[in-house]
Structure formats: structure tokens, C-alpha cells
Amino acid sequence: MFEQRNGILFIGGCSSLDLAASFGTPLYVMDETVIRENCRSYLAAFAAYPAAEVLYASKACMNRSICRIIEEEGLSLDVVSGGELHTALAVGYPPQRIYFHGSNKTLAEMEYALEAGIGCFVVDSGRELNLLSGLASRRGRAARLLLRVTPGIEAHTHEFIRTGQLDSKFGFPLATGQAMEAVEQALRLPFLELAGVHCHIGSQILDTEPFVLAAEVMLDFLAQVRAKTGSALTVLDLGGGLGIHYVDEDDPPTIAAYAASIVAKVREKTEALGLPTPRLLVEPGRSIVGEAGVTLYSVGTIKEIPGVRTYLSVDGGMGDNPRHALYGSRYRALLANKAGFAPRMRVTVAGRHCESGDILIRNLELPAAAEGDILAVLATGAYNYSMSSNYNRFPRPAMVLVGGGRAELIVRRETYADLEALDLVPDRLGAGRPTALPAAGEE
């Protein structure tokens, strides 16, 4: 996806300097080819399994164009909110291929999803079971669902993105018997069609073992369900979580290796337990879009504190990428206009938000940097745009889709007008008289 021509970084065949000049910085750049290749790798990796379905976890990066690409590639979709669902429906995503997750769905969201005819709910609590049963009864049509189970597996990843352990806000714990109770409740309630079970053990997982373990635990559970209730549930959804390459130390399994390890375990275990071959679902987010993304920033202030540290400030920060501030996540980066130049300095890349914690990268080796250079931070395609904010009222960056030397805007840059568009001023405060605006405000 990257190329270097005369010291200039090219992404998807486009000069990153031209992209920065045409679309401004900060800029999210997404390489379409990489996204499509990852989708195809997932489909190919599970092709040998009799019934597999790959869902894109849209929380990783969602907008109308990304959604179109995912749909064209034939993946199904995981949404967790009315907003994600709405975006999918807005571009004609087939509702039968949409799965609705979320740990506290509102009644309005559930009604919206039922009305839209989505294929399946992933139910997270007894409250949701009752709500769904009630709504489906009123419509006179059964709702299809999976139950989210917490299998009690501790994946070795950051505490905030670990979700499979017993002490979690998500799902029905296996260990306490609540998962079995939920199955029984779902089988008892009218107008519910319980298809199977789901788990998601965490994110940015860099080996296959936790996934294999999850498959094992979940299949044991399906066997217990059959023994206790006589029902053979047919869907096993193992969630997402495959990690990507952020920094040199990250060595994630390939998509093929990940799939092969799961498929082998599912085959072996179903045979041992005498279970029918389940329909197997996975829900990758990060590993579809993460490495397809690069964020371009302009370098501003460079502050050297002799003997302490050099801060290199860029024109974005935690507003467009909160991941270092939140999880201590690490990234690689380079100067897009000095690609391949020898390292000359070690810097801490800081954003321009009013917080000391607004750091993007610590201890980055760079060639001699100067104001106006373009810094390219790599592997920012997942959970950057989707977790962005307007903190300090900075407008959010644009997103451009590149591929084969073509660049197209898919999210336009926010303007100051966008920032105030939702504000309302009660009459008693008066409208205020706008100060004469300078002709070209910096937006």
C-alpha cells in the first residue's frame, strides 16, 4: 500500500503531499484496496468451512462509503446503535445481513431495527429478551436472536478492550449459570427464535490461542444446552478481535492462520461432542480497516527541552485519535516528505488539545523535522475516526478514499458552521450580534 518515490510517501498510488495540499490536514486517508483485500482474505479463509459468515464490525470505521465497500465485498454487518444501523440502511445494506449488537439497546432502537427487518439481534440481557419478545409479539412475527455469553476467558490485551472475562458489563456469564438461564428464558418466551450464541473476548489479540479456547468453551456450552433443553442451537458467533500490526513488535497471526485455527477446533470439538456442524460467524473490525488507514498531519511547533524531551506538535491529536490517551496505544509514523531519510531526532508527537495527555506517539525517531513537514501516522483506520470528538471545538478531519492513484473525498471536513449548527440559544439569552467575521476563518 505504501511506496516511496523521491522521498515522498505514496498511499494507494497517491502522493501524500498532494493529498495534504488538496484536502488539508489533519486528513484520514483510507486505502480502498487494502480494505477489499482484507474482506476477501476473510471470505477465502473461511470458504472451506461449510457454513461461515463474516460480519464487519462497523464500530471500527463507519460511514456510507465504507459501508458500500463492505456490502459490495459480500460481508454481513454488525451494528451496535441506531446510528450505525441508520447509516447501513441509508446505503441500501440488505437488512437480513445486519446483526444488531449492543449492551443496552433502547426500546426505540429495537423497534427501529425490527421495523427495518434486520436479520438478527444479539441479545445482551434479560431485559432485552423481554423487550424483544414483547415487540415481536405485537408485530406477530418472531425475532431471530443470538445470546451474548461471557465465556470467562482473559485475553491478553488492554483492560478496557477486554470483554470475555466474568467481571464484564457484557453478556450472560457462563460461570454463574446465567447463560443457561438466559437460554431457557429465550426458549420459553413467545415470538423469539433463538438461533445460537455469541461471544467476543476482546480486541487487538495477537495470538490464536484465546480464540481457540473461546470456541472450545462455547461448544461445550452448546452441548450442555442440548443436554439440558433438548435444543440444538445452530449458530456459533465468535466475535471479532484479531489484532493488527501497529508497531514492529506486533506480530499478529494472518487472517488465514486465525481462521484455520478456529475451524480446526470447531471441527474437532463438534465431532467429539456429537454436535451438528454449527454455522460459524466472526465479526472482524480492526483487521478489516485498521491497516488501510493513515492520518496525515502538518507539523507545527517543535519544542525542545534540553536534556528532557522534544515535543513535536501536529494540527490534530486526541480529537481525531484518542487511542494513546485512552489505552496507551502505540503507532509508527514517518515524515511523508522525508520518507527514507535517516533518523536524526527523537520526538514525542503531541496534539494541539488542551491536555498534557494529548499525545499521539512517544519516542518516535524522525529525520530532522521542521514546521510544515507532513507527518503520516500509520494503521489509523480503525477506532480513530469512529472515536473522534470535537474537544476544544476543533472541526473533525476529512476522510479521503485512495486507490490506483485516485483520491475521493468520502467524509468532508467539518466547518465552524457545522460546529454551531446544533446550538440553540433560548430567547432570554438573546441571539447576540455576530462579530464581523474575518473573510477566511481557519476551518
Neighbours of 263 (CB within 10 A): 18
Selected range binding ligand LLP among 212-220, 238-246, 330-338, 359-367, rule: CB under 6 A? 238-246
Residue 430 burial (C-beta neighbours within 10 Å; 0-12, 13-18, 19+):
exposed
Binding flag, residue 319, ligand LLP (CB under 6 A) = no
**Residue 252 near ligand LLP by CB under 6 A:** no
The catalytic residues are: 354
Residue from 82, 239, 317, 367 in contact with ligand LLP (CB under 6 A): 239
Look up residue 236 and give its amino acid. L
For helices 82-90 and 107-116, the axis angle rounded to 10 degrees is 20
Compute φ and ψ for 421, nearest 5 degrees.
-60, -30
Q: Within 10 A of 387 (CB to CB), how many other CB atoms are there?
A: 17
Decide if residue 241 touches ligand LLP (CB under 6 A). Answer: yes
**Residue from 101, 265, 324, 352 binding ligand LLP (CB under 6 A):** 101
Give whichever of 20 and 263 is closer to ligand LLP, judged by the CB atom.
Answer: 263
- Asked if 316 interacts with ligand LLP (CB under 6 A), we say no
Other CB atoms within 10 A of residue 118 CB = 25
Q: Which segment (106-114, 130-138, 196-204, 398-406) binds ligand LLP by CB under 6 A?
A: 196-204
Residues 321, 382 contacting (CB under 8 angstroms)? no
CB of 109 to ligand LLP, least distance (A): 16
Give the whole-angstrom CA distance, residue 66 versus residue 246.
Answer: 21
Candidates 71, 73, 78, 109; binder of ligand LLP (CB under 6 A) is 78
* x-marked contacts with ligand LLP along 37-76 as a string, rule CB under 6 A: --------------------x-xx----------------
Q: Per CB under 6 A, which region of 41-49, 197-205, 250-258, 430-438 contacts ligand LLP?
A: 197-205
Positions in 129-148 near ligand LLP (CB under 6 A): none
Residue 202 near residue 162, CB atoms below 8 Å: yes
Query: CB-based burial of residue 261 (10 Å sphere; 0-12 exposed, 13-18 middle, 19+ buried)?
Result: middle
Minimum Å gap between C-beta 17 and ligand LLP is 28
Q: Contact region for ligand LLP (CB under 6 A) — 188-196, 236-244, 350-358, 363-371?
A: 236-244
Instruction: For residue 218, give the C-alpha cell.
Output: 462455547
> Residue 263 or residue 335: which is nearer to ligand LLP going by CB?
263
Distance CA 292, CA 61 (A): 11
Name the one residue in this structure whose C-alpha cell is 465468535.
Answer: 238
Is the CB of 257 or the CB of 345 nearer to ligand LLP? Answer: 257
Q: Which residues have CB under 8 Å from 397's CB, separation 6+? A: 25, 26, 27, 28, 295, 316, 320, 385, 388, 413
Give the range of 135-143, 282-290, 394-402, 406-414 binding ligand LLP by CB under 6 A.
282-290
Residue 291 exposure: Cα atoms within 13 Å on the Cβ side: 21
Q: Name the site residues for ligand LLP (rule: CB under 6 A).
A: 57, 59-60, 78, 101, 161, 200, 203-204, 239-242, 283-287, 323, 327, 382-383, 387
